[in-house]
Chain A
């Protein structure tokens, strides 16, 4: 999100609103694009590492749609 206003503008804004927990990671954390997105194998739950319950990456269009949804909601709340 925009660090000054809080308006969602980054792919991670969408991803963190699609599922909770550490379900995704990057092949290159300094270049966070959809092409570099991948699932984590395990997530930490109640002190244990368990298989990531998210088994399929969301489509790029679904990620973009979620980001637009967040932006529209932010714009409506801040207009």
Chain B
């Protein structure tokens, strides 16, 4: 089929010039409509350093409050280190841990539950470097959140060096992006 490039200020009249069924695109499910891509994105971070283990990281957490940041959709909620999702769906979760002086192994997890009770490790990363050195480690997982009541996540660190937090920028931080329906 020959294609003709549209000129400046020209457009296609979909109502009268298109026949048949439009192909689905950009996640759309209808013939003539499109659904939004990302409907939820959020960032939380640790504001304060601590050393050693925390299961879960339960305090000194804040939603990103930088002027550059604005969440998309309904944000995550957190209580005592347990993060609850605003709606069901498939979520891409990343966790970045900034560490200092992890001369012994520092293990960091994203842990999830599907029954609001027992947790499993969904993703792990580890750090061990020379004394007085910095390191940043990151891990991620896709979580099929089929129930906002039962499906939750927490972030856990094993013993080792210092986990660094800051209220002015994303040092140790966690991101949640809803990428699709469950």
Contact = CB atoms under 8 A, between A and B. Distances in A.
Interface of A: 1, 3, 6-7, 12-13, 15-17, 20-26, 29-30, 32, 40, 42-47, 49, 74, 77
Given A1-B100, A29-B60, A74-B132, A45 B47 contact: no
Contacts of A20: 50-53, 159
Interface residues of B, number: 29
B54 A21 contact: yes
B119 A47 contact: yes
Q: Is the interface of B mostly helix, strand, loop or mixed?
A: loop
A40 B59 CA distance: 8
- Among A12, A46, A74, the one with the most B-chain Cβ atoms within 10 Å of its Cβ is A12
Contacts of A74: 132
B57 A22 contact: yes
A46 to B, nearest CB: 6
Contacts of A46: 55
Given A12-B48, A20-B53, A21-B52, A42 B80 contact: yes
Contacts of B134: 3, 6
B48 A21 contact: no
9 shortest interchain CB distances as A-B pairs: A20-B52, A6-B132, A29-B167, A29-B47, A16-B51, A44-B58, A12-B49, A44-B56, A22-B50
Contacts of B49: 12-13, 15-16
Given A32-B48, A40-B60, A42-B59, 15 more contacts: A1-B100, A12-B49, A16-B49, A20-B52, A21-B54, A22-B54, A22-B58, A22-B59, A25-B59, A26-B60, A42-B80, A44-B56, A44-B57, A77-B131, A77-B132
23 contacts: A3-B134, A6-B100, A6-B132, A6-B133, A12-B48, A12-B49, A13-B49, A20-B50, A21-B54, A22-B50, A24-B48, A26-B47, A29-B48, A29-B60, A30-B168, A40-B60, A42-B58, A43-B59, A44-B80, A44-B156, A45-B53, A47-B119, A49-B80
